[in-house]
Structure 1
Amino acid sequence: MDLLSIKNPSFLKGLTNNELEKLSEEIRQFLIEKLSVTGGHIGPNLGVVELTIALHKCFNSPQDKIIWDVGHQSYVHKILTGRASEFDTLRKFKGLCGFPKRMESEHDVWETGHSSTSLSAAMGMAIARDLKKEKSYVVPVIGDGALTGGMALEALNHIGHEKKDMIVVLNDNEMSIAPNVGALHSVLGRLRTAGKYQWAKDELENLLKKVPAVGGVLAATAERIKDSLKYLLVSGIFFEELGFTYLGPVDGHNFEALFESLGHAKKISGPVLLHVITKKGKGFSPAEMDKVGTWHGTGPYKTDTGAFVKPLNAPPAWSSLVSETVRKLARKDERIVAITPAMPVGSKLEGFAREFPDRMFDVGIAEQHAATVAAGLATQGMKPFLAIYSTFLQRAYDQVVHDICRQNLNVFIGIDRAGLVGADGETHQGVFDIAFLRHVPNIVLMMPKDENEGQHMVYTALKYDDGPIAMRFPRGNGLGVPMDETFHSIPIGTWEVLKEGEDAAILTFGTTIPMALEAAAQLEKQGISIKVINARFIKPFDEKVLLNLLKEKMPILTIEEAVLQGGFGSAVLEFANNQGFYDAVIDRMGIPDRFIEHGDVDSLLDEIGLTSREVVRRLTILARKKQRRA
């Protein structure tokens, strides 16, 4: 079949199972080839090919609402809804989004890039359907990893209580990004081995129907027998106790089994949970054999060998630099423990876990829990390192405020993927953390200019005993600078002058420092002298340095790869106002007040005007203002 000619999923209705199996093979080959060039979430999508086809054959999208949890497994859905021709642009600037996008297609009924949201969204849609007296199916598809998220469990509780008609498809591949952990994962493991439960219950019901009714005694006895059967064959009956009719487990790569189970589910009133077993990475050997999550989401790779296409002799990744520095320090300090919410691979904590298995805790997709566990550890004199992406730290905001900062506990938060992350787009851009942390009392917030300063900041954080401290660091690799062999502490709240100048000053930190230095060098050729300051401590900042700039009436440009509203530049403005410098000349550059979509970081920075070219333009204006004032 020509996948590029697909306009909508209706063509599936007339295909036989043999034809669907052939289509599955064609889709897998298409994904393997396309993603080898663009990169993307190859493992999750190869695992849901048959399941996605079956859903679109059994239901009528978009009238029936198919809701993808996390959304990184929606590539097959996108192909079946007419977007195969756009896959060369997947995750590229102005191209096809790697997650469901409502503006892309009417079939994308829910947008998400974070896990565990589908069930709550589905409940909202089911309530709206019933209030509007409409007839449609609501079908959230949630993974076993996402099901461990607290929000998903809250939704299960509500759905079971309200008894709304809904078919929850549990896509169980035994992994999220990394292997799943936790008691609920063990419950699912028992369910996988208890596949004869539904068959046995159905057979018992058929048998009882053949027995003439003898008052209510037989009926009551029959119900007790069925309940006993449940507990005999399926340990716990977790979902049925929550109010769901449990079906499964079902082979998620077998069309006959999928169609039979989905057909059964459609006939049942109230909430149904269909437990589907799939193989992550199915059809591509390197992804199938992956046991740690390497093939969850990748960059380009070679289709024949599975080897990743990476630059030679690249500097170390930021995540690796931070985690390995923590690991080195943990050898001398037994109080240091590491915590991650289901991101041991992304946070490069595998080495720490191997060396210190008793001091490494992957709590699953549970960011709120991770933050408060870290707080609990800190109350007992431990030195917890909480490794978490900026975009996922948003989910633990209340715990950071209420449990960590309010109690002034010594938790070190490593904020990974801070700033623009590129291809994963607006759900993953790490641009809000400065704004939502800066106003919280007690916390120290910092960002290094390079990996050498980064290792010293990690050392500083783990030696700090006066409360919570957080370090932002970007996605990708360092700059390749020489590394000191001995760690040293950096005085909290101190800035560093990288270049002296007299006409204007740039205050910036992290990834935007090279941009500032480049602009200053260009302006130097024009006779404009620019001071460049590494404002590495965002909170508390260097009040002495800033006060001197204001007293000298030095025009100031702040630059941050983060949102302007409530950000670092706002802090500089607030300080100037509080100190009475009402005529200070201060300009700010950063992320504008909108969500930044996907694409390579350079293209995104160019689109929003966060470039050395724009820095030169603004500093030229600022320098002229100083000259006029003089």
Structure 2
Amino acid sequence: MTDKPSTPLLDTVSTPADLKTLDRAQLRQLADELRVEVIDAVSCTGGHLGAGLGVVELSVAIHAVFDTPRDRLIWDVGHQAYPHKILTGRRARIRTLRQRDGLSGFTRRAESDYDPFGAGHSSTSISAGLGMAVGSDLQGKRRNVVAVIGDGAMSAGMAYEAMNNAGAMNARLIVILNDNDMSIAPPTGAMSAYLARLVSGPAYRGIRETAKQLADLLPPFLKDKARKTEEFARGWWTGGTLFEELGFYYVGPIDGHNLDHLLPVLENVRDAETGPILVHVITKKGKGYAPAEDSADKYHGVSKFNVITGAQAKAPSNAPSYTSVFASSLIQEAREDERVVAVTAAMPSGTGLDKFGELFPNRIFDVGIAEQHAVTFAAGLACEGMRPFCAIYSTFLQRAYDQVVHDVAIQNLPVRFAIDRAGYVGADGPTHAGNYDAAYLGAIPNMVLMAAGDEAELKHMVATATAYDEGPIAFRYPRGDGLGVEMPERGLPLEIGRGRILREGSSVAILSYGTRLGDVIAAAEKLAAFGLSPTIADARFMKPLDEALIARLAREHEVLLTVEEGGIGGFGSHVAVFLARNGLLDGKLRFRPLMMPDTFTEQASQADMYAAAGLDPAGIVSTVLSALGTDAEAMRLLNASRDAT
């Protein structure tokens, strides 16, 4: 790694107020230094790189023009806000991004007054901004509210719901559409910049208002024709007809990397006494750093990397990632069954489906950031006899809960849910943790739920889901690599609702659901030091439960532990209900469920999270010994061993 870069002008900036003293040439220099600082900081910590580099000039321009934090600035999604964090008093801590006790990788209200709204998921900014604008008006407070939303986030229905509401209310709200994928408008130049300044300026708006007043004197049919003629003429030159129909005054497109274009337009919309305005800016993801520009997808989120070469530092592993095992298993099933299709919500590479798409381009469907649509779309595919796999992160599937219930489960449609990032996700923190899927899916009738104990089991569960046509089925797996177990050549369908015993023991039984199984086995080895030999079982299924297996474990052991990487209401809760309903808690059995705590867990390493939750081997051993009433000396030895580790 190189020494920290020289940033003499940026060194003088502590808060956005300092930008007000700089001229345009200095602001351009500041943007260049800010870009270098972002690259260097993320190279040390890892994180989201490309999106932040794309909004460097936009961040400078917004803070130079608007009076933040009095004016509200909302970033959608918060991962593009690294430059914003540096400009708003957090530069000294920027190299703690996504680290334990460090800066969040997203915007966060508790972190700074300059973050009026936290965002880890997309497409929330316009709704939140509208609420802030209305709330300020109701209190008689005059402020600007600015929502910066990416073109990807604009694929979600929530953004349009908010725009429709804002347009109908004629609320004073500024939305900046950051178009970094050329998906809406062509490249822009001097003419479009000139037109943007023209239509956003007071002269044009004044003429437009006068024309409206004159049009009010016309007969209704001529008034309507005049309105449509003006909108057509402006839309023909500048685009934005869709946004105009939603009630927004459209400005753009303009070059989002050119401060000479950005600053006058933002000044105009800041001072406009009008309803909602949409400013359309064109940016390039990864701008100013060649590796990120050339491979925007690879550099969307990065591990630590070498600034000179762009090479990312990734620890070698002897085991494949769970995501790659899912992808290769699904490809294998698709080769044998042409009904197998894949659906993703803007995460083809994150879910491993990019490789599926290379082989089956007509059988993969990326619907954009639209999880609700993804689920119902998959339901429609199932209606026609296809075998759809809907691959969505646990934290994002939350957004489609009604569709899972109403459109899939009630109709008992065989949609397959591949739930990636189930459990702790480390540095991405509480907004992305997959705590809840077992609980929220477990409450739904007709749903079959599985969790893989290792990567070989995941391969079998993909085969199980492919073969299961009786209704909806889901399987969960975590972020990260597998355990390094021997992999089968082909996945085989499992018997629905049947677990497995891995080790027969006595006195203590540990029933694992999901990939905490590796640590359960490690805990069993540690328990041997205390003269214990526990029975180890892999539940495989949460719904339906293997009731015969659970009843046997309960009757034949003094202590029964359940271990899962999920929140309250999940596997352990279902087991507890079964035990209680069948009188299996009335005797000498001591039942202890181990799960994620009922809190939002802050960013840290996954290992730290497991230890804090008692889901690592030492925590599992401690729970067993406590349940058995083991003496204090044994507990002291265990804790000493844990501290040494």
| Same-fold call, TM cutoff 0.5 | yes
Q: Deviations over 1:339-389 (max 9, x none)?
A: 000000111111211211111100000000000000111011100010100
Instruction: State which drifts further: 3-12 or 193-202.
Output: 193-202
Query: Could you list the runs of 5+ residues in structure 2 that have no partner in the other structure?
Result: 1-7, 631-645
| 1:619 match | 624
Structure 1 distance, partners of 2:26, 2:331, is 53
User: Which of 138, 150, 158 is the aligned partner of 1:151?
Assistant: 158
Alignment of 1:64-143 (within 5 A): 64-143=71-150
Q: Displacement, 1:478? A: 1.6
Contact 2:508 2:557 in 1 (8 A): no
- Give TM-score, length-normalised by structure 1: 0.92
1:582 corresponds to which of 573, 582, 585: 585
In the other structure, the counterpart of 2:290 is 285
- 2:175 counterpart residue number: 168
Cα distance change on mapping 1:443 and 1:284 into 2, 3 Å: same
Q: Deviations over 1:37-67 (max 9, x none)?
A: 2111100001111101111111111110001
Residues 482-493 of structure 1 correspond to what in structure 2 (within 5 A)?
482-493=486-497
1:596 matches 2:592: no
Q: What CA deviation, in whole Å up to 9, does each residue of 1:370-421 have, x standing for no partner?
A: 0000011101110001010000000011111111111111111100000000
Q: Deviations over 1:95-124 (max 9, x none)?
A: 111011111111110001000000000111
Indicate how the Cα distance of structure 1 residues 208 and 156 shifts in structure 2: closer, same or farther if over 3 A, else same.
closer
Tell me the CA shift for residue 214 of structure 1.
9.7
State the match for 1:181 in structure 2: none
Distance in 2 (CA, whole Å) between partners of 1:620 and 1:333 is 49
Task: State the Cα deviation string for residues 274-299 of structure 1 (Å, max 9, x = none).
Answer: 111111101100111125x1111111
Q: Hey, what does 1:474 align to over in structure 2? A: 478
Report the AA paired with residue 273 of structure 1: L
Structure-2 change in CA distance of 1:224 and 1:607 (3 Å): closer
* Conservation of the 8 A alpha-carbon contact between 2:513 and 2:571: no
2-side partners of 1:316 and 1:2: how far apart? Answer: 46
The aligned length equals 611
CA distance 1:158–1:207, shift in 2 (3 Å) = closer
Structure 2 SS opposite 1:130: helix
For 1:563 and 1:104, locate their aligned partners in 2 and report how far apart those are by CA, in whole Å.
Answer: 26
Q: Secondary structure at the match of 2:565?
A: strand
Greater mean alpha carbon deviation, residues 613-622 or residues 138-147: 613-622
Deviations 1:207-239 (A, max 9, x none): 99999x999579968756523413533567111
CA separation in 1, counterparts of 2:349 and 2:52? 19
Q: 1:507 to 1:389 in 2, by over 3 A?
A: same
The one of 361, 371, 378 aligned to 1:367: 371
Secondary structure of 2:291's counterpart equals: helix
Residue number in structure 2 paired with 1:178: none
Q: Equivalent of 1:316, from 300, 304, 320?
A: 320
Alignment check: 8 A CA contact 1:191 1:235 kept: no
- The one-letter code sitting in structure 1 at the alignment partner of 2:298 is T
Q: How does 1:549-588 map to 2 (within 5 A)?
A: 549-564=553-568, 566-583=569-586, 584-588=589-593
CA RMSD of aligned residues (A): 2.4
1:190·1:234 contact (CA, 8 Å) conserved in 2? no
Q: Is the 8 A contact 1:3 1:84 kept in 2?
A: no
User: Is the alpha carbon distance of 1:21 and 1:555 closer, same or farther for their aligned partners in structure 2, counting shifts above 3 Å?
Assistant: same
1:236 to 1:616, Cα distance in 2 relative to 1, 3 A: closer
Larger mean Cα displacement after TM superposition, 588-597 or 311-320: 311-320
Residue 465 of structure 1: CA displacement? 1.5
Task: Report % sequence identity.
Answer: 45
Structure 1 residue 623 displacement after superposition: 3.2
Q: Match of 1:22, as an amino acid?
A: Q
Alignment of 1:221-620 (within 5 A): 225-234=229-238, 237-268=241-272, 269-291=274-296, 293-312=297-316, 314-564=318-568, 566-583=569-586, 584-620=589-625
How far is the alpha carbon of 1:2 from its aligned partner?
Answer: 6.4
Q: Equivalents in 1 of 2:162, 2:208: separation in Å?
A: 35
CA drift of 1:309 comes to: 1.3
Quote how far apart the aligned CAs of 1:609 are.
2.9
Letter in 1 for 2:515: T
Tell me which amino acid in the other structure corresponds to 1:582. L
* Alignment CA distance shift 1:205-1:26 (3 Å): closer
2:56 is the counterpart of 1:30: no
In structure 1, give the amino acid aligned to 2:542.
I
Secondary structure of residue in 2 paired with 1:478: coil
Q: Give, in angstroms, the shift of residue 315 of structure 1.
A: 2.2
Q: TM-score, normalised by structure 2?
A: 0.90
The 5-angstrom pairing of residues 166-205 of structure 1 reads 166-174=173-181, 185=183, 188-189=184-185, 195=192, 198=196
TM-aligned CA deviation for residue 509 of structure 1: 2.6
Asked if structure 2 preserves the Cα contact closer than 8 Å seen for 1:102 and 1:108, the reply is yes
Shift of the 459–361 alpha-carbon distance from structure 1 to 2, 3 Å rule, reads: same
1:303-356 CA-partner distances (Å, limit 9, x unpaired): 111122123354222112101211111111110110000000111111211211
Query: How far apart, in 2, do the equivalents of 1:210 and 1:91 lie?
Result: 52
SS of structure 2 residue aligned to 1:467: coil
Deviation at 1:5, TM superposition (A): 6.2
SS of 1:189 mapped into structure 2:
coil
How far off is 1:152 after superposition? 0.5
* Conserved? CA contact 1:517–1:532, under 8 Å: yes
Moved more, 197-206 or 267-276: 197-206
**8 Å CA contact retained: 1:197, 1:230:** no
More moved, 598-607 vs 40-49? 598-607
